[in-house]
Amino acid sequence: MPTLWGYFRSSAAYRLRIALNLKGISYQDRFIHLAKGEQGEAEFIAINPQKLLPVFETDDGDYLTQSMAVLEYLEETWPEIPLLPGDAIRKARIRAVADIIACDIHPIDNLRILKYLKDPLGLEQDQVDTWYVHWIKLGFDAIEPAIEGKEFCFGDTATLADVCLMPQLFNAHRFNMSLDEYPKIKAVEAHCQKIAAFIDAHPTNQPDAE
């Protein structure tokens, strides 16, 4: 059985939990507590020298890193329930929304960046919070007109866009960001919150949740 090395509040691990659930792939958990610095311990560095989550360990003992690369791996090896449905244009649009989150918002809003803003750069917590929400808002400003947003981001099935959007929405709520400007994003969130694959993947429903 594959193993997902993660942390309940890791957005990237959250993406993989959703995708694994949607595809019906059974897996076991290994937990790395990011806030306690367990990613810097020798055992984990041997698995992922970048010291980031998630890590996906295959049945054959291969360790795969970077959530978007793992999502592509899942798409190639479990294609029966696709996260990239449709023709080349539709797939590109789905990827574009996913990449706004995974490439533009998340990398500059993750834990190690926030820690660096406070120490050594010396920002106060309210300044860090302002930074965080600013980058989510810029991303959501682009996502809102790009999605269909009736049930899912695109069409009537979950795609890679939804897999990436829901963890980012969790983060937006953590920082008390208003979503009033984003009716289509709110509609997608409301629909996904009713689906078991998303519910079971939610950070508060993980064994290591605090």
pLDDT band at 9 (very low <50, low <70, confident <90, very high): very high
Residues 6+ apart with CB under 8 A from 110: 11
Q: What is the pLDDT of residues 86-138, one digit of tens each?
A: 999 999 999 999 999 999 999 999 989 999 999 999 999 999 999 999 999 99
* Residue 188 C-beta-side C-alpha neighbours within 13 Å: 29
| Topology alike, domains 3-81 and 88-198 | no
- List the domain boundaries for the chain: 3-81, 88-198
What percent of the chain clears pLDDT 90, i.e. is strictly above it? 97
The whole-angstrom separation of Cα 155 and Cα 175 is 29
- Round the average pLDDT of the chain to a whole number and report it: 97
What would you measure as the largest C-alpha separation in the chain, in angstroms? Answer: 49
CATH code of domain 88-198: 1.20.1050.10
Give the model's pLDDT for residue 135: 97
C-alpha distances (whole Å) from 2 to each of 56, 58, 93, 132 are 7, 5, 30, 33
**Span 34-46, mean pLDDT?**
95
- Specify whether the CB–CB gap between 12 and 50 falls below 8 A: no
- Which pair of tokens denotes residue 187? 């509609």
**Full-model pTM:** 0.96
**Span 148-168, mean pLDDT?**
96
**Span 180-184, mean pLDDT?**
97
Residue 190 has pLDDT above 90, yes or no: yes
**Class of the CATH-defined domain 3-81:** alpha beta
Which is nearest to 54 in space by CA: 24, 82, 22, 27? 27
Q: 123: helix, coil or strand?
A: coil
Task: Tell me which amino acid residue 64 is.
Answer: L
- Which pair of tokens denotes residue 26? 């059974």
**Span 24-28, mean pLDDT?**
98
